[in-house]
Chain A
């Protein structure tokens, strides 16, 4: 159980969860920029915009952490994934690029109003596109359609487009759209807080429906994954994520926003953990185990020694960052 490759897989999983819980919320901010409605559209958008400002780059780095950990610790698996998932990953990259650039341009170029609508729509569209493409890419490793022939990876050109991965892409979007408004309830007050509460409850329902739908879809389109998900290795996480999701809805309903924020992050964490548990012990389901994909033990040991030092530096720094920018977002521009 506590083998080096399992620990390394834990690090990848942790990175993915952190990216979803923090970076996902930033994409969700972009999604709700597009979906903002009601009399306070402008306030909603501005609130999201100012909340994302100081943290999005830091949050984005979790993705780089996932990629780097993958190629360090699971070089063979990384090569297989990035060979077969070329198209969805290129789409995600384009989205990441335009999202980041549009945000930075808009943020630092705000003194003249002319660019804002175009930059805002680029920001919104790429915030929708990226989690969708990443959701498809991640769920496609559970389809079993990536296979090894003579030691090298192969897959049909469009294998990553199917019912299971399409729902997976939408789940990716829904996770982001779920977190952003719930996080915003803690950082706002009055009418605006009620807007975000309503958005959070709606997104929670959507996420619940989508993840429920994904299970029968998986039985047809990703049977091995579905089998493991409903067996003893995945089922407890499914149950816990359902409980956590319902708890979040109740907390939101009763306006216990701080707890709702934690419960929402817990729901997303448990959902992703359920996915990972059903993948175990494989990196590519049924085709490439974690052990077979792993780098030599010396590399894994070196990676962990670096990881420990990194954590010692990063954790206090991150706490300082989030502590400094807690509470209501500052509307002022940096000067």
Chain B
């Protein structure tokens, strides 16, 4: 494998891996905070127990998030030193801010996890506030760096050298706002659905304790509040994209030719050779309406840009559709559950709605990962759009494929260890404590 491809593969695998843990590190603290607050305000200790049951998986997942995040911060330099020499002065600032936020999160998480015997209940609740806020803030900051790569801002280039550098303008680059809001909310949806799935599975096994019902309701409530916001922010993101990142938009929607009254393709395989979308569902004029709120608006297709500066729609369009489809799968499962919950005034224990939730539970994470892939593949071939190509940013060191193989082994070992730990069946003789992941179940 050549160096650029190896470096891209390694960075992609590292990020794809880290994103899962980072997402839970953002979503879970909110659950902890809500549960501890409910416990304090209602005086019901069950909520506190609920939160304390989550800290064991939280501790492991957060630790893996921390080390996989370290790998990423090193890989920025190990794989992309030329990009960092150029972009470091501009994207370093959000990374520094993210570092401080993450630091704060780690401190208060340690206090919360280990402080049960040393801190009051009120103080434990207080600790969950900085964890939640700092976790969301670190997502918002780090997304700014990603947004900068899409819409570089805050500098001028004079003879290839940076000049007129404004780090705060770089931080608040045009793509930041929609990416940050959409991306952070996605973490709540993904975590909420993942946890709801775990409790749906528990209820399906017939362990319908009050504890499991409440846990399911809480997790799904957080996800369900965020879900419509995902649609709204997604629509907002698309409208801004149609203005700021036209090639990415065209690749997402598999629009090969610039069209007035552009159609929306659902599904299908974009075929660059023929410039057509094969097997897709074509809805006339919808893309123009979504992008510009005008059924006859002009939408630039991939042919509007010079060859060699556009992304491959085959890598972008399918992931975009996967993201949108995931949204509707989750929406359907959530609506079904809440409808029954509202009609019966209690958590429905019927098989099919719970199975639907179980089925929908990984789609939050799938949507988040595919949304990220859309952003990244949609930016190609640029590492900093219109300024530096990916191939120009890569390290001059050879043998990156060896590093790739090494880290593949590391990630496989980590995942195997984690799965072994989280999936281990409860050992006998432990009384009420079962040690499965979030699968903690009351007898």
A: residues with CB less than 8 A from B are 53-55, 57-58, 60-61, 63-65, 67-69, 71-73, 75-76, 78-83, 86, 89-90, 93-94, 96-98, 100-101, 103-105, 107-109, 111-112, 115, 152, 295-296, 298-299, 302-303, 306-307, 309-310, 313-314, 317-318, 320-321, 324-325, 330, 332, 334-335
Contact (Cβ within 8 A) B96 A317? no
Contact (Cβ within 8 A) A93 B74? yes
A318→B130 CA distance, assembly (Å): 13
- Interface size bracket, B side: 35 or more
Identify 7 new A-B residue pairs, CB closer than 8 A, beyond the known A299-B92, A303-B167: A63-B70, A64-B69, A79-B81, A86-B78, A93-B74, A299-B167, A321-B107
* Residue of B68, B71, B73, B420 touching A68 (CB-CB under 8 A): B73
Contact (Cβ within 8 A) B406 A68? no
Cβ of B397 within 8 Å of any chain A Cβ, yes or no, is: yes
Contact (Cβ within 8 A) B403 A79? no
Write out the residue numbers on chain B whose beta carbons fall within 8 Å of the beta carbon of A302.
93, 167-168
Contact (Cβ within 8 A) B59 A318? no
A103→B63 CA distance, assembly (Å): 9
Write out the residue numbers on chain A whose beta carbons fall within 8 Å of the beta carbon of B397.
83, 86
Contact (Cβ within 8 A) A299 B89? yes
Give chain A nearest CB distance to B409 CB in angstroms: 9
Cβ of B284 within 8 Å of any chain A Cβ, yes or no, is: no
* Residue of B90, B96, B102, B421 touching A109 (CB-CB under 8 A): B421
The 3 closest A-B pairs by CB, nearest first: A72-B92, A82-B77, A75-B88
* Residue of B81, B102, B108, B395 touching A64 (CB-CB under 8 A): B102
- Return the chain A residue nearest B86 by Cβ: A75
A58→B109 CA distance, assembly (Å): 10
Cβ of B76 within 8 Å of any chain A Cβ, yes or no, is: yes
A296→B418 CA distance, assembly (Å): 43
* Residue of A100, A321, A332 touching B110 (CB-CB under 8 A): A321
Sampled A-B contacts (13; CB under 8 Å):
A76-B85, A79-B85, A83-B395, A96-B71, A97-B410, A101-B67, A112-B435, A296-B165, A302-B167, A302-B168, A307-B96, A310-B96, A335-B52
Of the listed stretches B111-119, B235-243, B318-326, chain A binds: B111-119
Contact (Cβ within 8 A) A57 B63? yes
Cβ of B104 within 8 Å of any chain A Cβ, yes or no, is: yes
Write out the residue numbers on chain B whose beta carbons fall within 8 Å of the beta carbon of A107.
59
A325→B112 CA distance, assembly (Å): 12
Contact (Cβ within 8 A) B100 A310? yes
From DSSP, what is the main secondary structure of chain A's interface residues?
helix
* Residue of B67, B81, B102, B118 touching A100 (CB-CB under 8 A): B67
Contact (Cβ within 8 A) A303 B92? yes
A69→B88 CA distance, assembly (Å): 10
Write out the residue numbers on chain B whose beta carbons fall within 8 Å of the beta carbon of A111.
427, 430, 433, 435
Write out the residue numbers on chain B whose beta carbons fall within 8 Å of the beta carbon of A310.
96-97, 99-100, 103
A298→B74 CA distance, assembly (Å): 24
| Residue among B82, B118, B167, B168 with the highest chain A CB neighbour number at 10 A | B167
Give chain A nearest CB distance to B239 CB in angstroms: 30
* Residue of A93, A295, A318, A332 touching B89 (CB-CB under 8 A): A295
A63→B103 CA distance, assembly (Å): 11
Contact (Cβ within 8 A) B92 A317? no
- Return the chain A residue nearest B421 by Cβ: A109
For chain B, residues 392 to 443, give those with C-beta under 8 angstroms from any C-beta of chain A.
Answer: 395-397, 403, 406, 410, 413-414, 417-418, 420-421, 424, 427, 430, 433, 435
A145→B395 CA distance, assembly (Å): 19
Give chain A nearest CB distance to B321 CB in angstroms: 35
Give chain A nearest CB distance to B66 CB in angstroms: 5
Give chain A nearest CB distance to B7 CB in angstroms: 11
Write out the residue numbers on chain B whose beta carbons fall within 8 Å of the beta carbon of A295.
88-89, 92, 165
